[in-house]
Amino acid sequence: MNTRQAQTRMRLQPGGRAVPGLRSLYCLNGWAKDVEAVSGKRAQPPYPLAQYGSMTPLFEEANLPDETIGSLGALGSDGNLWVTLPDGGTPVDATLNAPRNFYAYSLSSQEYKLTLTASSSTTNADLSTTTPEFCVGQTIYLQASWSPGLPGGTQKWAEWTLGGDFIDNFYYPSGYSNPSLIYTNDPNYLTNESAQAWWKSGDYDNPPAYRANFSEALNFANGQYASVAAAGNITVYRPTISNFIPDNPISVVLGTNSLPEIYLGIGDPSSSGQGAMGWDLSVHWKPNFKGTFFYTQLIDREWSWDITTFHLPRSHSTGNTYWLDNESPYTAASVIDTTGSGYGAYTQATMIYGDGPSLSDSFYSFADLADSFNTYLEFQPVGGIPVTIGRVTWGWHGQTAASGGVWSLAIGDVTGPSLNDSDDTFPVWTTVYYNSNN
């Protein structure tokens, strides 16, 4: 039994470890019974509740105002007050204040704990207690969970905010027959308690920690609102490249040994392709993150020539845009599947690349060919998406003409190869260039 003149003070101690900015959700449930309205007189000792009739909560009685809980606010029409309090904070006043001098009352509290988890094919972690390590390209499932579950009728507006470079959606663009996937970072895909993402940034020796922040606005059935947040960290590992060694020499070759057919290209076909474009490099990975290394090559080609059949100039161009060179993975280079039995506990392998783009035809008086290449070295972890761990740029320009029946090489330029081992852009194309004499 309580009165406004002699009231028992009640305090609520927020649980958890004090972390700056971290708050938990509480539901306070209470009722009060006006004793004078039941007995017509003031309470008398020993205050047995039975003598005052049914203890119907005050909020169900007609024409009576809601009770308040200290300075936290008023109970709703269902007897609940939803509040957020800082974890591990100082006790707060939770005294139930009723609008009568003599009343019986009850007050209880329930904490609702928000937990964030991140999982993949190799890891499942509670972000409140663990900082897990993932690999670029892995599908990482993010989940925000309430314990106990929030009551039915609660409306939720959720949002994840993630650190690092990541994508959360991919699709094929419309209007093309053989386009690449488009990988995007669209915040609309991070507005549910369940979400997924694929990171493309990270590091081999010192995987960086990226923040995973989650916030949620709640609208309860009694019309009350609350806003909650939680956060954790993940680290992201990224395979690396070393020992990039281009072949030497690399040269443009004019071949006239099979007249009337002329050969113009990189490397000499009569000597097993000597002088063609090529390089070796080493890839490194951690044994707990298996996957496949491969190349995807894009080509920007410009050529023109005339042939003996027509004697008229002909030309072709990719329009200063890069097309997929035949297929991905690029079959003129190594593909390394680290899940194979041959690799066991190994964490390093050498990838060999070789290519000899060229033209061969019965040219009449001239031929001119210029190619630029973006050769992406990609890694695709098991169950994930391919991510770029390096990009090699290179190109060549060959031009030949006949004078008095004698062919000569007027231009024979080679650029690159040049490796950018920090590139993490995705190869993008809308068209495939087939049979490009790879």
pLDDT confidence of residue 74:
86
- Identify the pLDDT of residue 393: 98
> Residue 250, SS3?
coil
Q: Which amino acid belongs to residue 198?
A: W
**HSE value, Cβ hemisphere, 13 Å, CA-based, for 341:** 0
Q: HSE of 322 in the Cβ direction (CA atoms, 13 Å)?
A: 17
CA–CA separation, 221 and 249 (whole Å): 75
| Integer Cα distance of 228 and 136 in angstroms | 30
pLDDT for 92-120, tens place per residue? 887 777 666 666 677 888 999 999 999 99
Exposed/middle/buried for 40, CB within 10 Å: 0-12, 13-18, 19+? Answer: exposed
Per-residue pLDDT, 275: 87
Token pair 């094929």 in the structure block, residue? 172
> Of 12, 10, 55, which Cα lies nearest the Cα of 37?
55
Rounded alpha-carbon distances, angstroms, from residue 343 to 203, 209, 290, 348: 22, 29, 10, 9
Which residue shows structure tokens 């606005």?
Answer: 217
Give the tokens for residue 311.
């004697």
Are the C-beta atoms of 429 and 322 separated by less than 8 Å? Answer: yes
Q: 37: helix, coil or strand?
A: helix
Distance (Å) of CA 132 to CA 32, 378, 387: 48, 24, 20
Q: Please tell me the predicted confidence (pLDDT) of residue 323.
A: 96
Residues facing residue 93 across a β-bridge: 11
Give the integer Cα–Cα distance in Å for 51 and 39.
8
Q: Is 369 exposed, middle or buried (0-12, 13-18, 19+ CB in 10 A)?
A: buried
Task: Concatenate the DSSP letters of all residues of 271-291 into one string.
Answer: GTTBT-EEEEEEEE--TTS-E
Query: How far is residue 217's CA from residue 223's CA, in Å, rounded to a whole number?
Result: 13
- CB distance 296 to 390 below 8 Å: no
Residue ranges matching CATH 2.60.40 in the chain: 113-237
Distance from chain centroid for Cα 390: 19
> Which pLDDT score, from 0 to 100, does residue 310 have?
64
Are β-strands 225-237 and 209-219 bridged in parallel, bridged antiparallel, or unpaired? antiparallel
pLDDT at 326: 93
| Topology (CATH level 3) of domain 113-237 | Immunoglobulin-like (2.60.40)
* Lookup: tokens for 26: 């509480």
Q: CA nearest 398: which of 251, 284, 261, 288?
A: 251
Q: What's the pLDDT score for residue 103?
A: 66
Residue ranges in the chain whose pLDDT is less than 50: 1-6, 18, 52-65, 438
pTM over 0.75: yes
Question: Which backbone phi and psi does 90 adopt, to 5 degrees?
Answer: -70, 150
User: CA nearest 430: which of 103, 154, 178, 257?
Assistant: 178
